[in-house]
């Protein structure tokens, strides 16, 4: 199913702004912020406002084209939905990020399904803690 079909089937409309936002997310390497996206879109369409970017990201997320993640700051990161799934470990001491491989996520998810019958999305929010390097350096 093409983008046009998917959008059409959902009752949404295919606007230039929406195409440009999707394009910017798909071209991005990883985890871009809304402002990153706005900047890229403005190169071709300078009049776009922040709310249009946010609303289009939300619409494209509903359609399954993009996803967002929260690291430990208050900025939302966006990426294409078809990239490989992974979680994030963020160190509250040095700010460093580590990717969590799907098997570890799956093992943790299984436990939550068993105990709470809750289907978790462990890639949605980073797990905060202390990374191996900072753990090995007790003070400082």
Partner DNA sequence: GAGCCTATCGCGAAGCGTCGCAATAAGGTG
Partner DNA sequence: CACCTTATTGCGACGCTTCGCGATAGGCTC
Q: Which residue ranges make up the site for DNA (CB under 7 A)? A: 4, 7-8, 11-18, 33-35, 45, 47-52, 54-56, 58-59, 74-76
H or E segment to which residue 115 belongs: helix 102-116
Residue (47 or 84) nearer to DNA, CB: 47
62 binds a second copy (CB under 8 A): no
2-10, 26-34, 54-62, 120-128 -> range binding a second copy (CB under 8 A) = 120-128
Q: What are phi and psi of 106, to 5 degrees?
A: -65, -40
Strands 87-91 and 76-80: unpaired
Other CB atoms closer than 10 Å to residue 100's CB: what's the count?
Answer: 17
d(CA 75, CA 35): 10
**8 interacts with, out of a second copy, DNA, none, CB within 5 to 8 A per kind:** DNA
From candidates 46, 107, 138, 139, binder to a second copy by CB under 8 A: 107
**50 interacts with, out of a second copy, DNA, none, CB within 5 to 8 A per kind:** DNA
d(CA 110, CA 24): 35
From candidates 13, 47, 74, 84, binder to a second copy by CB under 8 A: 74
CA distances from residue 112 to 70, 120, 127, 129 in whole angstroms, order as listed: 20, 7, 15, 20
Q: 16-27 and 34-44 are packed helices; what angle lies between their axes, rounded to 10 degrees? A: 120
**24 interacts with, out of DNA, a second copy, none, CB within 5 to 8 A per kind:** none
Binding site for a second copy (CB under 8 A): 70, 74, 89, 91-92, 98, 100, 104, 107-108, 111-112, 115-122, 124-132, 135
């Amino acid at each position: 199913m093409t983008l046009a079909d998917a959008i059409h089937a959902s009752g949404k409309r295919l606007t230039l702004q929406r195409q440009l936002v999707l394009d910017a997310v798909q071209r991005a390497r990883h985890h871009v912020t809304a402002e990153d996206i706005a900047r890229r879109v403005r190169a071709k369409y300078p009049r776009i406002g922040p709310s249009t970017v946010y609303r289009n990201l939300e619409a494209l997320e509903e359609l399954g084209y993009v996803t967002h993640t929260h690291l430990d700051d208050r900025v939302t990161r966006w990426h294409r939905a078809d990239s490989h799934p992974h979680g994030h470990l963020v160190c509250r001491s040095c700010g460093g990020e580590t990717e969590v491989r799907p098997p570890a996520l799956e093992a943790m998810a299984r436990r939550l399904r068993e105990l709470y019958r809750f289907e978790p999305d462990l890639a949605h929010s980073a797990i905060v803690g202390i990374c191996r390097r900072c753990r090995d350096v007790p003070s400082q």
